[in-house]
A and B are shown apart, each in its own frame.
Chain A
Amino acid sequence: MNGSRGLAITAFVLALAPAGLPPYVMTLLTEALILGLFAMSLDLMVGYTRLLSFGHAAAYGLGAYTAGNLLLHTDLPLVFAVLLAGAFSGIVAIGVAWVCTLASGVSFSMLTLAFAQLLYAVAFKWTSVTGASDGLAGIPRNPGPFGITVFTTKAGFYYLVLACLIGAFVFCRSLVRSPFGAVLQGIRENEAKTRSLGFDTRRYKIAVVAIAFALGGLSGALYAPFAGFTNTELLFWLLSGQVLIMVIVGGAGTLIGPIIGAAFFMLVSNFLSSWTDSWALFFGLIFIGFVLFAPQGIWGLATRWFGRGRAPEAKGRRWRSLNWTG
């Protein structure tokens, strides 16, 4: 199966979904695609550059609160508000990454966590902007531009999310296959060597964090008008951990894997939580199983079964080779 044809078929099937699926399934699917975009953005850092972030919720929350405020307090059309919020997250990330990339390995991860927790604390105190513990409620889906109202409906919003996900996927795929992407893979495998070849690796790392935050922010920005509210949980470390699990279970370093991982996470956690209150315990066991026995993740397993193991994105073992010292 050719990559572009697979993408076209998947997009086509997903585009037909609103015609056949009941509304509550559509709600779940929309949320799964938003989380898929979120997980895919983290994959650029974790899977492709070996920058392990424990604070990716910062991107999600930044996007969500920015979009929430834009939609509540301005007449900016939904599409523009969402894109602007993503861009804002990316710009903030340049500064954050500048600080975090002063360190590497565990220290880098801890700095990302610290930054996310800082935002979490700010969200609790800055009542006028974040609504503190109440969060922002009643976030509308502003119509426009030019009187276009299609995105404000349930199905229309789904198409907006789908378009964002596919657009981001095509963008990321082009990025990781470009010369820039080749340098990222060099950093992942041996950063010191990459630097000694003459690449200013820190700039590449700052750039990839900014891109990951912009796309992660975009997903958060879609979540705000999807749910109609934001709260501080969107900035909490639990979400940072969950998205990391989605990436690893789905297959780090594959882009598609984390999207599947996000859907898998939603599906299984929904199923488990309807059955037991301690669902997180059981999901934890599933996670451990993947790390130990299938470090290449769901997509890694699938590509091996279907004989596409030689595709450049689908080399296994990646995760196992991901260690702290780099």
Chain B
Amino acid sequence: MALLELDGLTRRFGGIIAVDDVTMRVKAGEVRAVIGPNGAGKSTLFNLITGVVKPTTGAVRFDGEELTGLPPQRICQRGISRTFQLTALFPEMTARENARLAAQARHGRRWQPYGGGSVFADAERLGDAALERLGLTHVAQRPAGLLSHGDQRLLEVAMALAQGPRLLLLDEPTQGLSVEETEQAVATLAALLADGSMTVLLVEHDMEVVFRLARMITVLHRGAVIADGAPDVVKADAEVQKAYLGGLA
């Protein structure tokens, strides 16, 4: 059974249909990319899954349970962690504190109003492990606001990872990075996803990045799915070439 199921998901903003009857499955252990030209509805799709935006019609199910209509923090508590297209961090906290707070969100005593040594210790263990997996240990003590843009993007991924999510949503993880930074970030992410233990849904503009990271691709165009399948299949699809890839493939 698929871990994430979207059924006939539609969202209208006034007269505009941002997401149009999208049905999609993400299996456990799958790395799937959602691609499409600007305004294809990729970000809205993420916002629908995470509960930031409510669907006009249709349903989101996660591990067989209905998520539609739940507030974002409840959906996150079910095991879906995300990163943002525009870097969202706690700039005055160190990278380590950022990762710790992310992990704390999944702790049973995350709100404890006194002491909390054991809560912090548990969260720190998960946070530090996530930082290490993304190669950020050497900047762990630096305020997040002072990190390079590339490290900031990876720190966001580390924070999501520290939550031990069952589904990881990455919104353009290489957005705004230089060529070298992109190369480095993609290598780090590829290593992270290599063992197939993570289920990832990825939105990305950069085709190179998509073909290196994703094993399945869903193509959106004007809010609707126009192709779905393995990278080779999608690349060869005539409609996709017309709508999106242009002369690239």
Contacts and interface: CB of A to CB of B under 8 A. Distances in A.
Interface of A: 174-175, 177-183, 185-186, 189-190, 192-201, 204, 207, 315, 317-318, 321
Select the residue from B89, B90, B97, B109 with max chain A CB neighbours within 10 A.
Answer: B90
Contacts of B101: 182-183, 186, 194, 197
Contacts of A318: 92
Instruction: List the 6 closest A-B pairs by CB distance, nearest first.
Output: A198-B76, A180-B113, A189-B90, A198-B105, A179-B116, A193-B88
Contacts of A196: 50, 72-73, 76, 82, 84, 88
Contacts of A207: 113
B104 A179 contact: yes
A197 B102 CA distance: 6
Given A190-B89, A197-B101, A315-B92, A180 B112 contact: yes
B38 interface: no
B222 interface: no
Contact of B119 (A179, A186, A190): A179
Interface in B74-115: 76-77, 81-82, 84, 88-93, 97, 100-102, 104-107, 109-115
Contact of B72 (A175, A182, A185, A195): A195
Nearest to B77: A198
A256 B71 CA distance: 37
A179 B102 CA distance: 12
B163 A179 contact: no
B76 A197 contact: yes
Contacts of B90: 185-186, 189-190, 193
Contacts of A177: 116
Contacts of B116: 177-180, 182
B107 A198 contact: no
Contacts of B62: none
A254 B110 CA distance: 23
Nearest to B159: A197
Given A190-B88, A196-B88, A182 B114 contact: no
Nearest to B80: A198
Nearest to B82: A196
A193 B73 CA distance: 10
B88 A185 contact: no
Nearest to B50: A196
Contact of A179 (B71, B77, B97, B112): B112
B119 to A, nearest CB: 5
Contact of B92 (A181, A189, A199, A204): A189
Given A174-B114, A179-B111, A179-B112, A321 B50 contact: no
Contacts of B71: 200
A175 to B, nearest CB: 6
Contacts of A192: 88
B92 A321 contact: yes
8 contacts: A179-B107, A182-B97, A182-B120, A186-B93, A189-B90, A193-B89, A197-B102, A204-B111
Interface in B29-65: 50
A124 B105 CA distance: 46
B68 to A, nearest CB: 18
B95 to A, nearest CB: 13
Nearest to A204: B111
B75 to A, nearest CB: 8
A22 to B, nearest CB: 40
A193 B105 CA distance: 11
Contacts of A179: 104, 107, 109-113, 116, 119-120
Nearest to B120: A179
Nearest to B51: A196
A198 B73 contact: yes
A198 B74 CA distance: 7
Contacts of B102: 197
A175 B71 CA distance: 27
Contact of A198 (B100, B112, B114, B163): B163
B113 A175 contact: yes
A162 B222 CA distance: 67
A182 B89 contact: no
B115 A174 contact: yes
A161 to B, nearest CB: 24
B194 to A, nearest CB: 26
B114 A178 contact: yes
Nearest to A171: B114
A181 B104 CA distance: 12
B156 to A, nearest CB: 9
Contacts of B119: 179
Nearest to A187: B90
A177 B81 CA distance: 26
A194 B76 CA distance: 11
A190 to B, nearest CB: 5
Contacts of A182: 97, 100-101, 104, 116, 120
Contacts of B113: 175, 178-181, 207
